[in-house]
Amino acid sequence: MPKMLILTGPQGAGNHLWSKVFSLHPAVYGWKTLLDNYWEAHRFAEPFCNHWRDNSLLAEFDWSQSDYYFTSISLPLGIHGSDANPIWMPDIAGFVAAVDQCGVDVQVAVCGRDQSILEHQQTRIRHNRTFPLFMDELQKIRNPLFLSYELLYLYKGQYLNSLDVNIPVAWNSPAIHEILKLDRMPNIYIILMIIY
């Protein structure tokens, strides 16, 4: 039976960093193009982006491509009051049900980070807190696994090796250190901006 890990979290919670980590293992059908780029838009680049818009497409997906699948979606996507990039709330419960109907064992993981950093990140980029919208959606997710951004940075591969997720994780890959190194600098600037 194929297995899928769905990653979600509020905007600014480190979804892209976790997407790199979970897409790294060669056996995982995941967001491989993100491994070569610092950032890509969920709406256009994530491998299941069209399926998030219309989860009925999952019934037509070729599930024989791999034994392990990974997808990522922030809740919500977009910016309040933007005509070019309006706010959109993906239907996570509908997506999970559609994957389940395809005979795929699905698990949902939720990423998060310090609430002050998250609030600053959301208001800096989105000009408005979207965390309350995420909390409304969180109630629709059955038995989520919660991931810690801070524990990932502190313990790196050891923390990743401790996670019981549906897919193999390249916890001992040298690329993990590179991924964390690339993503650390913006976070340091955010922390310094909060302190000062």
**CATH number of the domain within which 124 lies:** 3.40.50
Beta carbons of 107 and 3 less than 8 angstroms apart: yes
Supply the pLDDT for residue 167: 98
Question: For the chain, what is the domain count?
Answer: 1
Q: Which two tokens stand for residue 119?
A: 């609030």
Beta carbons of 95 and 6 less than 8 angstroms apart: yes
Beta carbons of 144 and 103 less than 8 angstroms apart: no
Supply the pLDDT for residue 78: 74
Domain span including residue 91: 3-195
- For 68-101, letters b (16+ CB in 10 Å) and e give bbbbbbbbbbbbeeeeeeebeebbbeebbebbee
pLDDT in tens, 175-189: 999 999 866 544 444
Rg (CA), the chain: 16
Block residue for tokens 């590179």: 178
Q: What is the pTM of this model?
A: 0.88
Beta carbons of 75 and 12 less than 8 angstroms apart: no
Per-residue pLDDT of the chain (196 residues; tens, 9 = 90+): 999 999 999 988 889 999 999 999 999 999 999 999 988 988 889 999 999 999 999 999 999 999 999 999 999 887 666 666 777 889 999 999 999 999 999 999 999 888 887 777 777 766 677 888 899 999 999 999 999 999 999 999 999 999 999 999 999 999 999 999 866 544 444 444 444 4
